[in-house]
Chain A
Amino acid sequence: MSNVVEINALHKCYGARKVLENVSLSLESGTIVGLLGPNGCGKTSMIKIIAGIIQDYEGQVLIDGRVPDEYTKSIVSYLPEKTYLGDNLRAKDALNFFEDFYSDFDKEKAKSMLSQFKLDPNQKIKSMSKGMQEKVQLILVMSRKAKVYLLDEPLGGLDPASRKAMLDIILNNYSEDAVVLLSTHLINDVERIFDRVIMVGEKRILVDDTVDNIREKNGKSVQELFEEVFKC
């Protein structure tokens, strides 16, 4: 159980607007960590920095001991909030694309997950419902044997049954060699799958603790603590 992600004194500004100030945290492999906080507060920026998509920041970010670069991108599997697959792709084209660029991609696993969720590999992405698109993207991301999984709001806009299906995929792919960082608003549904939660607000980390500690120390569920921490 080593620290596969280390962040030290991270600062991030967008022009004059600072979204993260002196943020430090570390993520251990073999855990599922929840990243909670209001939108536009640096939560997504942090994820993008770990993913290597934002290179413009101050401070130290290490993934498996390396600064974010093309190597870390090969061990980080990132699922953004948006649909990032090309319009004209069919699901099977997306699988081939991932197999082409990622050596840790397990195409058979992805195929079996597609059929498990009754998704047609020949169907074009753009003709799928939003829920189906999100499932396809999650399947692609979780079929990689990565060390860091970054899931940015993977459950938004899904019906409860699909949400359960997504959580099952995430739990099924749990590995002791990997850490899953999951950012979400739907805390109640998801609290049970977290080892730890990190609450980010006001440019810094407000809470960083295990779920059980939070319950025992505060006598509150994570949802309730969240509401208290971020009360308007």
Chain B
Amino acid sequence: MANDFSSNVPIYIQIMNEVKLKIVSGVWEAGQRLQSVRELAVEFSVNPNTMQKALSELEREGLLYTERTSGRYVSQDEEKIKKARDEMAEEYTGNYYNLMKKLGYKKEEIIYVVSNRLADIEKGGLKNE
């Protein structure tokens, strides 16, 4: 719940990422109606004002939209969602690369490590989930 590695990142941005994850991974489906800000605040265990700020930002980015009378919805724009997913994947990869670099791995070695690991995971079941 509160295990942030990034102590200098404002919480609303972290919430944005948590919500983005739900959207890009499909847990929240495209076009799905969101619960109220208060209910979401409880679900994410966060201050309702912070939740509101995060949702507003995501609206600005186009991943959510508000229909004045009926509430907030996940965007129906599959392109946008895919783009967000790609951006997150790039970020994860960048983080991973930085970590591996700290271990002293070079680019070719990293690719090798990743392929091997993926093969193991597929073979031996979801050991690393």
Contact = CB atoms under 8 A, between A and B. Distances in A.
B50 to A, nearest CB: 7
Contact of A30 (B1, B41, B49): B49
A218 to B, nearest CB: 7
Interface in B24-65: 38, 41-42, 44-50
A174 B10 CA distance: 21
B7 A221 contact: yes
A193 B44 CA distance: 10
Given A171-B42, A172-B38, A188-B2, A32 B9 contact: no
Contacts of A82: none
Interface size class of B (residues with CB under 8 A): 10 to 19
Contacts of A191: 2, 11
A208 interface: no
Interface in A185-223: 188-189, 191-195, 211-212, 215-216, 218-221, 223
Contact of B46 (A164, A188, A192, A223): A192
B46 A31 contact: no
A89 to B, nearest CB: 30
B1 A193 contact: no
Nearest to B39: A172
A219 B4 CA distance: 13
A224 interface: yes
A218 B2 CA distance: 19
Contacts of A195: 47, 49-50
B119 to A, nearest CB: 38
Contacts of A113: none
Given A164-B1, A188-B2, A192-B2, A211 B45 contact: no
A58 interface: no
B97 interface: no
A132 to B, nearest CB: 21
A211 to B, nearest CB: 6
Contacts of A212: 10-12, 50
A174 B7 contact: no
A61 B42 CA distance: 32
A62 interface: no
A218 B8 contact: yes
Given A174-B38, A215-B7, A216-B8, A189 B1 contact: yes
B38 A192 contact: no
Contacts of B8: 215-216, 218-221
A23 interface: no
The 10 A-B pairs of least Cβ separation, nearest first, read A219-B8, A221-B7, A212-B10, A192-B46, A171-B42, A215-B10, A193-B47, A174-B48, A220-B7, A188-B2
14 contacts: A32-B47, A164-B45, A171-B42, A171-B46, A188-B2, A192-B45, A192-B46, A192-B47, A194-B47, A211-B10, A212-B11, A215-B9, A216-B10, A220-B7
Interface of A: 30-32, 164, 167-168, 171-172, 174, 188-189, 191-195, 211-212, 215-216, 218-221, 223-224
Given A193-B45, A212-B12, A223-B7, 4 more contacts: A192-B44, A195-B47, A220-B7, A221-B8
